[in-house]
Structure 1
Amino acid sequence: MVMRGRIAAASLFALVLGGAGAPTDPWRDLNHDGKRDVYEDYRQPIDRRVEDLLAQMTLEEKAGMLLHASLPTPGSTIGFSGRTYDAVAAKTLIDQRHISSFITRLVVSPAELATQNNAIQRLAEASRLGIPATISTDPRHHFQATLGASTTGGGFSLWPDTLGFAALGDAETVRRFGDIARIEYRAVGIHMALSPQADLATEPRWPRFAATFGSDPVTVSRLAGAYVEGFQQGRHGVTKDGVATVVKHWVGYGAQPKGFDGHNHYGRHAPLTQAAFDQHVRAFDDALAAHSAGVMPTYVIVQGPTIAGKAIEPVAAGFNKQILTGLLRGEKAYRGLILSDWSITRDCPQACIAPDAAHPQTPASIGTPWGMEEADVTTRFVKGLEAGIDQFGGADDPAPLVAAARAGRIRPVRLDEAVRQVLRLKFALGLFDNPYVDADAATNIVGNALHQAKADAVQRASQVLLRNENALLPVAAGKRVWLHGVAAAAARAAGFTVVDDPAAAEFALIRTATPFETLHPHHFFGSRQHEGRLDFRPEDADVKAIARAAAHVPTIVAVEMDRPAILTAIEPMTKAMLVTFGASDAAVLDVISGRAVARGRLPFALPRSMADVERQSPDLPDDGPDPAYPRGVGIMLPVRSHH
């Protein structure tokens, strides 16, 4: 157990119980002066502690507070490699650049992650004012993983993607998930979730569809609010045992033409009608009402709507005073932290605008200053701060902010407002009193059997049964099955006999996924994102497998949908069809055998053809021609009894 100052790192079990077993006087002499300052005194109100610390900070320390950097690993300044942090580089960020907010991208065991995060807190405690680090993460509890946007692994309990929760539509299930994720994050020393996505998913080709709650603004709002409530421990702001949520991406992100994503230069615009924009705003309502600790603005330049009767300035939301100060702070009365998405102050060089095979886009050439491409870095910081940004994601050099402040380009009152937002959240999370965790306890907490059992139940229930011709499902155990895309061991464990030839089978089970294309192979994100087509075609390997099976036996197809799939080509070859949003083979087999019931309903409509996708408006939910399956459909089967 780590010991620093006068406090031992409590296990998370004690933390969850409200600090049971904690020392009665958790004073830590953070500025090393031998006396208890107001900001070091847990008995003082948070606002008094904030003001005391703010008064002791230099301009350079304040500027560092406005940056949310990446915890570096050996060989990667943004933490994409290795099993440990780069301690020397981290010490430079903390001591010399005065940064105390970081995203972690380590994927290691819970004990290792807890140990590494404790090491960062020791570096922070040794700094001049001992300001603890706030450590954030992209989502870690789901199946989908896209480098730079989400991850999987590291021992966390594994749940469906958020579309799976949308398929169930049950706010209490989302709250329970949030509570478990909160416990697991805090066990390893993570304090901030860069989630949920309250983006309204209106363009079917958009790569980030899977991380949303679907296409209905009322459902998205309700479930995103429940997510905040679960992570933060209630609807009144984050508690000291909670995890701060950063709801994103304010606002209009899911309306990208052709689905081209705003991380990329080619996806920087989002045209919306006023009526559509209002629906995208509506999707955020309950996350804001639940007092999400943070809000992250979208990358994209919103085009078309007006705010307070005026056309929106053609700059990304992170630079847009109308969207942040006018709409979010003003009309929506939001009072929490506004954290920019990553790299909005960085340049977008030629390798960012138009990379090619000889010059692909690397992390070094990622920049997203949409609408401010011609401005210098300092001007971007000033513009963002005045628009309403409190902290800049993916930035690790405070020099432009310091220079702008010294030149009178940043109002001191605005600088202090932003610093207060960051500090207030650290105090609310209890980090000044004890930022350390018990690495040994993390092993028993993260992904434990009880947590995973609850996750497994949601993997099963969130599946959507679209087709069940001649009551093929449930299938009795003992039958012979031909598999494609399913582990044979899982089928055997479910009681089926696996055969190598569909002609020898009694039924076939095939797992596939929404088709996609890699249309931008040289862009960092474009090369990793699923873009383009949604339709199955005869030349696809999975379609060939379906055709082979269907020629001999009744065929069950389970389609993993990270985006709405067009099923027209494969549906006539199937007798039963499931939709999954992150489910293990065991979870799918339990539904097929009747041990579990698929209770999900489609959280979006499924189009009939790519021509229909082209005819719809990217900014409106499910507005295309008559769909193959409308939002909300799903067949419910009774539970089979087992004696």
Structure 2
Amino acid sequence: MQIVPSGPRRRSVVLGAAGAVAAFGASSTAPAWADERRPPRPTATHGPRAEAWIRRVLRQMSVEEKVGQLLVTHVYGARADSVDARNTSEYGVATPAEVVTKYHLGGVCYFTWSGNVVSPRQVAALSNGLQGAATGADPGLPLLISTDQEQGTIVRVGPPATQFPGNMALGAGRDARAARDSAAITGRELAALGINQDYAPDADVNVDPGNPVIGVRSFGSDPALVAELAVAQVEGYQDEGRIAATAKHFPGHGDTSVDSHTGIPEITHTREEWERIDAPPFRAVIEAGVDSIMTGHLVFPELDPSGDPATLSHPIVTGLLREALGFQGVVVTDALDMQGVRDKYGDDRVIVLAVNAGVDMLLRPPRFDLAHQALLAAVRSGEISAERLDEAVSRILRLKLGNHVVHQPLVDEAAVDATVGTPAHLSRADRITEATTTVVKNDAGLLPLPPGERRVLVAGAGGAAVTTLAQAVGERGASTQALATGTRPSDASIASAVAGARENDLTVVLTQKAWDTRVTDPEGRQRRLVAGLLATGAQMIVVAVQDPYDIAYFAEAPTYAVTYAPTTVAVRALARVLFGEVSPSGRLPVEIPSATDPDQPLYSYGHGLSW
């Protein structure tokens, strides 16, 4: 198979018998830098041949082409040639492929809301189409295709792709091999879809139970545990999954009560606290060779007193990350449409300040054409120096060379089913997830449940989780009633649940961020639901299907467990634990403070019951 793109400069992508191997074609119309030699092998990304290749590419690139390599954005559509009015509105062209070629993009990020993820084979075809557009136009460089597949609560590619527990669940499991395997399998499946960069793992240390944006995305509150599991995942993604990992959110987003999507978080740690709490995971992943690090849109006065968010801070990105920690890989911003980075400067200034701070790739700038033109103007005026631009592009080229996308931009669409969601992958996910389920209380000795006939009400938050658990309980001989009440149950649904608890032999109630009365449940209605159920005196199990902190508000509940995510794989593992088919082994990776006295621990780090 040969793809021969149109345009003033053509290059060919040749698929060999051993797989897709992209080589720059030697023809009269090929770019001068791609004439006599193939790029060096990915194992030599820092050797003389790699540096010579990078210099050769840079010499042949225009300013527009270089600027394009710094930009990563979303596109709308399930195919590279999908016509979507949203593309026209945001980019002035109709299809994803045209967005890629118009801006000479360095990367594209997939989302479900942008219509990119429908089925595995569709995603693979989309990736191939976008890579064809990128390699068939100047400068002929393949794309970094990325997504946020953290697993747990942050998933862009759902089933049939294998679903794993998220970071805090893995923290409860305390198993570096499990963390590595989950990343390796996730990486292999993403790679089969043409996704060559995952914006994971989250390396934040969640020391604030009220953190609205990190929470279960973190491995836990112990810097050493977070460092160990973050390194395991970096190795899984890069060494076994063969995709680029991206540790985030530097310099550390784990101690804030403000969501950077909607405001500017301020981290009040001293420099000593940053060194002790936030820095260890980032130091560890840098030593492990992480390909990329994502900046956080957060103000950290002890690291930069200017009031600029870290994404725009030269002292933090260049002084701390580059010079002090020695990171020489690609620095990418968190999404630039988030309010945390837009409050202080205009959209046309943010992208210039980020590049001059030391950032290499700019993720999803709002008002994209404005951002593109502002970058071009800054380079042409000298505000962004030619040296700074070439430095950033060089790092991007080195990453593309190192994660094989230069040599192998295309994937085999027919082979997707042999990799994605295989029985072996699903089985490993089940075993890993079982070991993360955490039983916090069993005061009444209710657990493990014997199988057999009984009437069971499953109620609470997470509609799919309620249905899944009711089905799993029913498979073990019970007559079940499912009542999904949501995260803000109405008075009527609370009354229905209370009535159901009186009519059934056992009630299992699921809560989801019931602690969060700012966003998730501003009126505390989940707390009312649980209180009403407890008042019936019926046998009851309370399960937090996300943050473990909910129990601070249900201290009188005699039986309490945590799954850390409302996913099917987590809920079905919970059922096996509740019925004693596997012994619970998860231990809290965070401390749970008392609701009445936050300085007093209700349950300590490492707590967890078994039988």
TM-score band w.r.t. shorter chain: 0.7 to 0.9
Q: Deviations over 1:46-90 (max 9, x none)?
A: 22221111111011111111111112332445999xxxx998343
Report whether the alignment pairs 1:492 with 2:459: no
Match of 1:462 among 436, 448, 460: 436
TM-superposed CA distance for 1:38, in Å, is: 5.3
Distance of 1:433 and 1:442 partners within structure 2: 19
TM-superposed CA distance for 1:531, in Å, is: 7.7
Label 1:545 to 1:6 Cα distance change in 2 as closer, same or farther (>3 A). same
For the 8 Å contact 1:557–1:577, the answer to whether it is kept is: yes
Tell me the residue number matched to 2:561.
578
Q: Which amino acid aligns with 1:46?
A: A
For the 8 Å contact 2:109–2:145, the answer to whether it is kept is: yes
Secondary structure of the corresponding residue to residue 578 of structure 1: strand
Label 1:219 to 1:247 Cα distance change in 2 as closer, same or farther (>3 A). same
For the 8 Å contact 1:598–1:636, the answer to whether it is kept is: yes
Label 1:530 to 1:458 Cα distance change in 2 as closer, same or farther (>3 A). farther
Tell me the residue number matched to 2:341.
369
Q: Which amino acid aligns with 1:225?
A: V
Tell me the residue number matched to 2:69.
65
Report whether the alignment pairs 1:603 with 2:603: no
For the 8 Å contact 2:65–2:138, the answer to whether it is kept is: no
For the 8 Å contact 2:440–2:560, the answer to whether it is kept is: yes
Within a 5 Å distance, the mapping from 1:111-190 to structure 2 comes to: 111-139=121-149, 141-142=151-152, 144-145=153-154, 150-151=155-156, 153-190=158-195
Secondary structure of the corresponding residue to residue 593 of structure 2: coil
Match of 2:293 among 283, 292, 295: 295
Distance of 2:28 and 2:195 partners within structure 1: 26
For the 8 Å contact 2:203–2:252, the answer to whether it is kept is: no
Q: Which amino acid aligns with 1:597?
A: S
Within a 5 Å distance, the mapping from 1:43-442 to structure 2 comes to: 45-73=49-77, 74-77=84-87, 88-105=94-111, 106-139=116-149, 141-142=151-152, 144-145=153-154, 150-151=155-156, 153-207=158-212, 208-233=214-239, 242-256=242-256, 259-265=257-263, 267-278=264-275, 279-303=277-301, 305-306=302-303, 312-343=305-336, 367-369=339-341, 372-373=344-345, 376-395=346-365, 396-397=368-369, 398-442=372-416
TM-superposed CA distance for 1:517, in Å, is: 4.9
Distance of 2:284 and 2:448 partners within structure 1: 38
For the 8 Å contact 1:480–1:496, the answer to whether it is kept is: yes
TM-superposed CA distance for 1:166, in Å, is: 0.6
Match of 1:545 among 523, 533, 538: 533
Q: Which sits farther off after the overlay, 431-440 or 219-228?
A: 431-440
Label 1:369 to 1:78 Cα distance change in 2 as closer, same or farther (>3 A). farther
TM-superposed CA distance for 1:384, in Å, is: 1.8
TM-superposed CA distance for 1:323, in Å, is: 0.8
Match of 1:453 among 417, 421, 427: 427
Q: Deviations over 1:353-397 (max 9, x none)?
A: xxxxxxxxxxxxx55435742xx5554333222211111111344
Count, aligned residues: 552
Q: Higher relative contact order at CA 8 Å, sep ≥6: structure 1 or structure 2?
A: 1
Secondary structure of the corresponding residue to residue 565 of structure 1: helix
- The structure whose residues are more often helix, as a share, is 2
For the 8 Å contact 1:30–1:40, the answer to whether it is kept is: no
Secondary structure of the corresponding residue to residue 174 of structure 1: helix
TM-superposed CA distance for 1:491, in Å, is: 1.2
Structure 1 regions of 5+ residues with no counterpart? 11-20, 235-240, 347-365, 520-528, 614-624, 638-643
Label 1:470 to 1:269 Cα distance change in 2 as closer, same or farther (>3 A). closer
Q: Deviations over 1:582-621 (max 9, x none)?
A: 2533221110111112211111111221x434xxxxxxxx
TM-superposed CA distance for 1:406, in Å, is: 1.3
TM-superposed CA distance for 1:274, in Å, is: 2.9
Distance of 1:516 and 1:75 partners within structure 2: 40
Tell me the residue number matched to 1:8.
15
Tell me the residue number matched to 2:491.
none
Q: Which amino acid aligns with 1:271?
A: T
Identity %: 26
For the 8 Å contact 1:26–1:42, the answer to whether it is kept is: no
For the 8 Å contact 1:464–1:602, the answer to whether it is kept is: yes
